[in-house]
Amino acid sequence: MEDQELPCVLIDCIGGKHGVYEDHAEFLKERFCLITMKEYLENKQFIGDKIRAIYMWYHKPVINEELLQNLPNLKIVASSGAGIDHLDLNLLSSYGVKVSNTPFIVSTDTADLGMALMLASSRRLVEGN
């Protein structure tokens, strides 16, 4: 994609307490032009048309009607969590925006922990600690 412009993806921020992890952002930058909310808010008029996707991390950035109106070429919202309660699916659908998430991302770990807790309880392991 060297001779083509990378598709632009809106994210909340990189690093910090709730930002996209820096190594994760580096991986994304190989395939996308990442635009932070701060950059977007500083230049909505120019940047809004370029954004094709929103990558949500810790339920951010918050998506509302004002944001959707300013992103006419938005095609997809990719949420990095299992749930979608934080998204207004009807609103996104009314703008023709698709939604993706990772519904089974912790299923195996949750099952493992559940089994471990049941075994610990039945064998009274915690009492021996």
User: Is there a domain that residue 56 lies in?
Assistant: yes
Neighbouring CB atoms inside 10 A of 92's CB total 19
Task: Identify whether 70 is part of a domain.
Answer: yes
Q: How far apart are alpha carbons 21 and 13 in whole angstroms?
A: 9
Residue 44 in domain: yes
- Domain, as residue range, for 23: 8-103
Give the predicted TM-score (pTM) of the model.
0.78
Q: How far apart are CA 34 and CA 11, in angstroms?
A: 7
Q: What is the CATH number of the domain that holds 23?
A: 3.40.50.720
Distance CA 125, CA 39 (A): 52
- Domain-embedded: residue 114: no
33, two tokens: 């032009």
The tens-digit pLDDT sequence of the chain (129 residues) is 454 689 999 999 999 888 999 999 999 999 999 999 999 999 998 999 999 999 998 888 999 999 999 999 999 999 987 788 889 999 999 999 999 988 777 778 888 899 999 999 988 888 776
Closest CA to 78 of 51, 100, 102, 49: 100
pLDDT of 93 reads 95
Residue 37 resides in a domain: yes
